[in-house]
């Protein structure tokens, strides 16, 4: 719960800061990495982040395969390939349509995940008394042995890969209130749903600790039909992550024509799909997110330093 409070604070600050940066630079071609970190370090980030983003897309394709494997006992390639096809088609429509699609999917995902997690928590609330004992018996996978470090790495990993997307989103808007307030509100909602999910998983740890998709397992145990609906929602969540990630990578190429953009998107999707088929989902998550988190820690440390310096100068 302490970790989730930290996530709330970090997400609210970082989402607001990144979209506000985009709004302030909507009339120029500045790069957020070089502007915030300086030319040398910023250039390193500018080239490394697309690689990290691509690794997340690989993880998402592997996750789609793992999900359909858990729920329907299908081969991994079915879910991964199906997700890759849908993402590739979406990328053909460009950034504006991608934002529109994700904007409609996002609230639906949050509401349904929150409702299912709350339902599970209420049904199994007495089992929370055994959480400490169950954690010793059924230890879940960890990104870090230290909860505080794991929290920071999680937050910075999630947001460093979204820097190009969020700053582009900020450039689309001209109102300070429409970038800062949604950033804070998103942090609050995200933390609330995350906290509910964490408690639901703790209350049902013996059932879900060894599953790649534990929340789906919980939905199936409530009712098979709910499990299928929840699986569809999780797939939408995977889609709404993978599509912006591959768009971010494609956007780094000096593309001058629609045809070239299409070829780049298709090539990136195919390579990410191959990676998702070859590498196991659980191991990808355990390696990719903490590794990216350390880079994110440096970038957001520079962002904090920049903001504090500007405030001191203004005073």
Give the model's pLDDT for residue 267.
92
31 phi/psi in degrees, rounded to 5: -100, 130
Under a CB-based contact definition with an 8 Å cutoff, are residues 2 and 177 in contact? Answer: no
pLDDT tens across 252-285, in order? 787 778 888 888 889 999 999 998 888 776 677 7
First to last CA, the chain: 36
Under a CB-based contact definition with an 8 Å cutoff, are residues 129 and 209 in contact? Answer: no
Give the model's pLDDT for residue 6.
92
Task: Give pLDDT < 50 ranges for the chain.
Answer: none
d(CA 198, CA 219): 15
How many of the other CB atoms lie within 10 Å of CB of 109? 18
Give the model's pLDDT for residue 270.
93
d(CA 260, CA 219): 42
pTM: 0.72
Give the model's pLDDT for residue 96.
62
């Amino acid at each position: 719960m302490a970790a989730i409070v930290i996530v709330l604070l970090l997400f609210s600050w970082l989402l607001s800061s990144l979209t506000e940066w985009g709004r302030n630079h909507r009339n120029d071609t500045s790069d957020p990495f070089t502007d915030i970190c300086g030319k040398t370090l910023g250039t390193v980030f500018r080239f490394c982040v697309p690689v990290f983003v691509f690794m997340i897309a690989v993880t998402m394709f592997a996750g789609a395969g793992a999900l359909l494997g858990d729920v329907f006992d299908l081969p991994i390639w079915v879910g991964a390939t199906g997700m890759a096809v849908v993402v590739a088609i979406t990328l053909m429509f460009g950034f504006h349509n991608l934002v529109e699609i994700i904007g409609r999917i996002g609230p639906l995902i949050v509401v349904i995940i929150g409702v299912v997690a709350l339902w599970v928590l209420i049904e199994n609330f007495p089992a929370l008394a055994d959480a400490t004992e169950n954690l010793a018996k059924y230890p879940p996978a960890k990104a870090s042995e230290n909860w505080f470090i794991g929290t920071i790495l999680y937050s910075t990993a999630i947001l460093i890969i979204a820097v190009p997307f969020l700053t582009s989103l900020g450039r689309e808007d001209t109102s300070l209130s429409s970038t800062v307030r949604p950033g804070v509100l998103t942090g609050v909602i995200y933390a609330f749903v995350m906290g509910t999910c964490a408690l639901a998983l703790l209350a049902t740890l013996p059932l879900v600790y060894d599953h790649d998709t534990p929340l789906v397992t919980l939905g199936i145990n409530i009712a098979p039909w709910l499990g299928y609906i929840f699986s569809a929602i999780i797939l939408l969540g995977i889609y709404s992550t993978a599509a912006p990630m591959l768009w971010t990578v494609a956007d780094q190429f000096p593309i001058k024509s629609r045809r070239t953009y299409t070829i780049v998107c298709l090539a990136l999707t195919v390579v990410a799909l191959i990676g998702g088929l070859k590498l196991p989902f659980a191991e990808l998550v355990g390696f990719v997110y903490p590794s990216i988190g350390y880079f994110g820690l440096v970038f957001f440390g520079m962002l904090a330093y920049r903001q504090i310096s500007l405030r001191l100068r203004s005073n």
